[in-house]
Amino acid sequence: MANPAMPLGDPDATVVVGAADADATLVVGGAPAGARPAAPPASPSSSAPMSGNAARVEFLRKVQARAQAKANEAKAKEAQAKAADPTLSPTVTTTGAPLAPGQSKDDSKRKKAFFSPTITKLVSRGLLSQRDAISASLRARDQGTTFLGAIAQISTLAGDIAFYQGLAEEAGLGFIANDRELQQMLSEAEWLTFKEADVRGCLLLKPDDLGGARYAAIDPFDVITRDWISDRLAQRATPVVVLPAAFQTVLGSLKTRIEPPKTGDESLVPIDVSWQQETKLLSEPGAADVPLVVDYILQRCHGQGASDVHLEPTEEGMVVRARLDGILHEQSRMPLALHSAVVSRIKVLGGMDVAERRRPQDGRIRVMIRRSPLDIRVSTLPTVLGEKVVMRLLDDSAVRPSPEQLGLRDRHLRLILDKITAPHGMILISGPTGSGKTTTLYSCLSAADRERRNVVTIEDPVEYRLKGVHQMQVNEKIGLTFASGLRTILRQDPDVVMVGECRDAETARMAVQASLTGHVVFSTIHANDCVGVISRLLDMQIDPFLVASAVTLSISQRLVRIACKHCSVMVEGREVLRQLRAEGVSDEKMQRLGLSIDERMPLSQPTGCANCRHTGYSGRQDVFEMLEVNAAIRKLIISGNHDVDEIRRLANESGMTTMAANGIQMVADGRTTYAELFRVFGEG
């Protein structure tokens, strides 16, 4: 339905990277969901695997494209920054394609030059009067909406089927002419609230016959909305032109259905900062209302998927940083004068002592951001410049991934499910802090049969509530430790037990015992890799025979960032090598980590774009290594001659793929980069 040759006024449609990305993935395999065909009529040969000269030419073309893209990117970024706020967006840039060659400048009539080619065509087809077009564009400028947004407000035009039909034709898009049709095609999503649908003039539709995402739009050229929806659906969404009159009718009837529910829980602080409030706040942060500043920071960081928010007093002002995909990014700077008031507000919300500024404090806030309840753990730290606040955002509504969704490969998935459903055994997970161990633990738990088995946990702290699981929290003050909690759990006739961490020998010993007496036990343990887990247990003076009999699976994991699929270009292995060496990665390190790079291998490399906040990465995924304790390894452990290298050799023999090999596979799939593997693997 979409006509890719028709520019939709999309800033990245003109960025060559978009096109390069689509065929770049052909080399690596597996085009990303929603990848568009290349914008210009692509040569048919580009779909076949390339070799020799063709590949070199292609490579050069992409290098050029990348340079071009960088330049365009800067422009697009600027445009996007302006357009991010509808009240600032100039009419012309968001209404169609003013860039079309030969369109505006050599047009002697000033009036015509005002409109995009599509609108000009509609005027020349007699579907829109010159007068209405001009009055709409003036209205758009005054009210800060797009041209089509303004047309929709003109009552005589909002129901003009001929005009909208023509618009859809010119844009090569589908058309919904009445409310009944719209109602039938409608789909719902939690993130599309009534307010959002109203402000953006869009409603989600059921996918088309080929499974492509679609949405009904009053302004199909509104790129911001298109990107916003595509981001949330994680695939490219195509607009379908809808008659504004029909849209309003349906939206009105939906109001009650998709409006956020009134929550009965009084302890939840509702947060909903509007665009207008946000714009005002950003233009004049000094004059802003303090509660609004706090709301804005939380809403924005939560919206970006941050796991932690840091508020830091510095000489230059109050710096707000958010941890996104494991790395801190500066979000904003506000006047230092605001800092103490903001901290006080957070303390009030968190039930902390506002007057106490010299001692560190902990607190907890429950808020409702837009529609999702959010649990926030607050911690303050007195520094010489003032109190630094760190807020950890624990999103209750975030979906716990099943083992399938964790990105586990076939063999790994089979192994893990096999051990979860076994009558007994011990599954240990290792990895540095922040490597997603908790997520893996929870996903294992969610795979356990909670209806017919008694699933009990002892955690510190309970991070997420899981339905059908009895969760207990460590409380050292009253003597409830991992060890004592586990002892209690074992008297509760459990089938599956999760122990947050085998922190000490006593806990580890009890967990081993529990698994030997007919329970499935999950836990985490501090060790560098799968084999290290075994050594760690033995170092804790646990009998080798018990270790060998209890442990059935040892999992080690690291979180790597996923390369942004919007801005990846193909480069040769030698270019990647050159960059890595320039960053100080030595050949010895490559060797030690088992990451060697083929110079001629085409590799996908992100360049940074608005979609990935110019980091080149968006989202994270775990890389695993799994050691199944089989008969041969068991025998070796019991023999007392448990040499680490020997265990590793046996594991490799029985088909264990190493973390490095799994990481390289991800690079080959275009999911991540060597640079990222070095960053993550190099640390541990």
Helix spans in 553-653 (H):
573-582, 587-593, 631-638, 644-653
Based on CB atoms, which residue is closest to Zn ion, 553 or 563? 563
Nearest-approach distance from CB 619 to Zn ion, in angstroms: 11
Taking the CA atoms of residue 121, residue 124, residue 130 and residue 136 in that order, the dihedral angle to the nearest 10 degrees is -20
Task: Pick the closest to residue 223 from 208, 245, 202 (CA basis).
Answer: 202
Partners of 314 in the β-ladder:
317
> Are 17 and 66 in contact, with CB atoms under 8 Å apart?
yes
DSSP letter (8 states) at residue 475: B
Task: Pick the closest to residue 681 from 525, 554, 560 (CA basis).
Answer: 560
Nearest-approach distance from CB 653 to Zn ion, in angstroms: 41
CA distances from residue 306 to 303, 371, 390, 395, 444 in whole angstroms, order as listed: 8, 17, 12, 10, 24
In angstroms, rounded to a whole number, what is the distance separating the alpha carbons of residues 668 and 27? 10
Site for Zn ion in 146-205 (CB under 5 A): none
CA distances from residue 665 to 409, 498, 674 in whole angstroms, order as listed: 10, 31, 11
Nearest-approach distance from CB 565 to Zn ion, in angstroms: 8
Site for Zn ion in 555-614 (CB under 5 A): 564, 566-567, 609, 611-612
Instruction: List the structure tokens of 319.
Output: 């710096």
Nearest-approach distance from CB 646 to Zn ion, in angstroms: 44
Nearest-approach distance from CB 217 to Zn ion, in angstroms: 24
Based on CB atoms, which residue is closest to Zn ion, 63 or 413? 63
**Residues touching Zn ion: how many (CB under 5 A)?**
6
> Are 243 and 250 in contact, with CB atoms under 8 Å apart?
no
Task: Pick the closest to residue 608 from 32, 4, 66, 28 (CA basis).
Answer: 66
Instruction: List the structure tokens of 326.
Output: 């494991």
In angstroms, rounded to a whole number, what is the distance separating the alpha carbons of residues 322 and 333? 12
Q: Is 673 left (phi over 0), alpha (psi -120 to 50) or beta?
A: beta
Nearest-approach distance from CB 567 to Zn ion, in angstroms: 3
In angstroms, rounded to a whole number, what is the distance separating the alpha carbons of residues 673 and 664? 8
Nearest-approach distance from CB 66 to Zn ion, in angstroms: 12
Nearest-approach distance from CB 228 to Zn ion, in angstroms: 16
Q: Which residues contact 6 (CB under 8 A, 6 or more apart)?
A: 170, 171, 172
Partners of 205 in the β-ladder:
186, 214
Based on CB atoms, which residue is closest to Zn ion, 558 or 561? 561
Nearest-approach distance from CB 81 to Zn ion, in angstroms: 16
CA dihedral for 58, 64, 69, 72, sign (positive or negative): negative
Based on CB atoms, which residue is closest to Zn ion, 197 or 609? 609
Instruction: List the structure tokens of 462.
Output: 């309970």
CA dihedral for 665, 669, 673, 676, sign (positive or negative): negative
Nearest-approach distance from CB 614 to Zn ion, in angstroms: 7
Nearest-approach distance from CB 618 to Zn ion, in angstroms: 7
Based on CB atoms, which residue is closest to Zn ion, 321 or 566? 566
Based on CB atoms, which residue is closest to Zn ion, 178 or 611? 611
Nearest-approach distance from CB 21 to Zn ion, in angstroms: 9
Site for Zn ion in 469-508 (CB under 5 A): none
Based on CB atoms, which residue is closest to Zn ion, 127 or 569? 569
Instruction: List the structure tokens of 597.
Output: 């790079």
Based on CB atoms, which residue is closest to Zn ion, 324 or 368? 324
- Calculate the CA 329 to chain-centre distance: 15
Based on CB atoms, which residue is closest to Zn ion, 104 or 672? 672
Q: Which residue is nearest to Zn ion (CB)?
A: 564
Nearest-approach distance from CB 320 to Zn ion, in angstroms: 23
Based on CB atoms, which residue is closest to Zn ion, 17 or 534? 17
What is the DSSP secondary-structure string of 150-216? HHHHSHHHHT-HHHHHHHHHHHT--EE-SHHHHHHHB---TT--HHHHHHHTEEEE---TT--EEEE
Strands, sheet with 386-395, edge to edge from the N-terminal-most edge strand: 269-271, 361-369, 372-383, 386-395, 308-314, 317-324, 327-334
Nearest-approach distance from CB 475 to Zn ion, in angstroms: 44
Contact characters 395-434, Zn ion, x per CB under 5 A:
----------------------------------------
> Are 304 and 313 in contact, with CB atoms under 8 Å apart?
no
Report if residue 615 touches Zn ion, rule: CB under 5 A.
no
Based on CB atoms, which residue is closest to Zn ion, 408 or 609? 609
Exposed e or buried b per residue across 274-284, where buried means at least 16 C-beta atoms within 10 angstroms of its C-beta: eeeebbbbeee
Counting Cα atoms < 13 Å in the Cβ hemisphere of 1 gives 19
Based on CB atoms, which residue is closest to Zn ion, 202 or 564? 564
Based on CB atoms, which residue is closest to Zn ion, 202 or 570? 570
In angstroms, rounded to a whole number, what is the distance separating the alpha carbons of residues 121 and 112? 10
Nearest-approach distance from CB 615 to Zn ion, in angstroms: 8
Based on CB atoms, which residue is closest to Zn ion, 306 or 610? 610
DSSP letter (8 states) at residue 305: T
Taking the CA atoms of residue 31, residue 33, residue 39 and residue 40 in that order, the dihedral angle to the nearest 10 degrees is 30
Based on CB atoms, which residue is closest to Zn ion, 412 or 566? 566
Based on CB atoms, which residue is closest to Zn ion, 139 or 236? 236
Nearest-approach distance from CB 35 to Zn ion, in angstroms: 14
The binding site for Zn ion (CB under 5 A) comprises 564, 566-567, 609, 611-612
